[in-house]
């Protein structure tokens, strides 16, 4: 059986990938995630319980202020695959 690996990215790395994908070259941007919260009654094996289900509905980019901690300056993002030398990290 092949060895399973996980690749992890930071918020900034994902933002850079999305900026390159869309060809955005100016402004400060951050990734955002749109969630949907749903309630249900589920039988989890020990009876039925009220349960919250959190769905990731969409992931996108949002223009932001330069001072925002997760902001990425699109003008500094190179078109190369490894703009800042940051390779995806394997989880341990």
Residue 88 lies in a domain: no
Record the tokens describing residue 6, joined without a space. Answer: 């996980």
Residue 85 lies in a domain: no
List the one residue out of 62, 61, 64 whose CA is nearest residue 28. Answer: 64
Query: Coil, strand or helix: which one is 32?
Result: strand
pLDDT in tens, 18-33: 999 999 999 999 999 9
The per-residue pLDDT for 89 is 52
**How many other β-carbons are positioned within 10 Å of the β-carbon of residue 20?**
17
Residue 92 lies in a domain: no
Residue 54 lies in a domain: yes
One-character DSSP codes across 58-69: EEEEEE--TTST
Residue 63 lies in a domain: yes
State the residue range of the domain holding 39: 7-76
pLDDT, one tens digit for every residue, the chain (92 residues): 678 799 899 999 999 999 999 999 999 999 999 999 999 999 989 999 999 999 999 999 999 999 999 999 999 998 744 444 444 555 55
User: Measured on CA atoms in the order 73, 74, 75, 80, is the torsion positive or negative?
Assistant: positive
């Amino acid at each position: 059986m092949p060895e399973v690996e996980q690749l992890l990215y930071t918020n900034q790395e994902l933002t850079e990938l999305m900026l390159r994908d869309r060809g955005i070259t100016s402004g400060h941007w951050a990734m955002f995630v749109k969630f949907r919260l749903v309630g249900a009654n589920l039988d989890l094996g020990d009876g039925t319980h009220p349960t919250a289900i959190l769905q990731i509905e969409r992931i996108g980019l949002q223009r932001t202020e330069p001072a925002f901690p997760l902001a990425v300056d699109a003008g500094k993002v190179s078109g190369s695959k490894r703009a800042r030398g940051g390779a995806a990290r394997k989880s341990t």
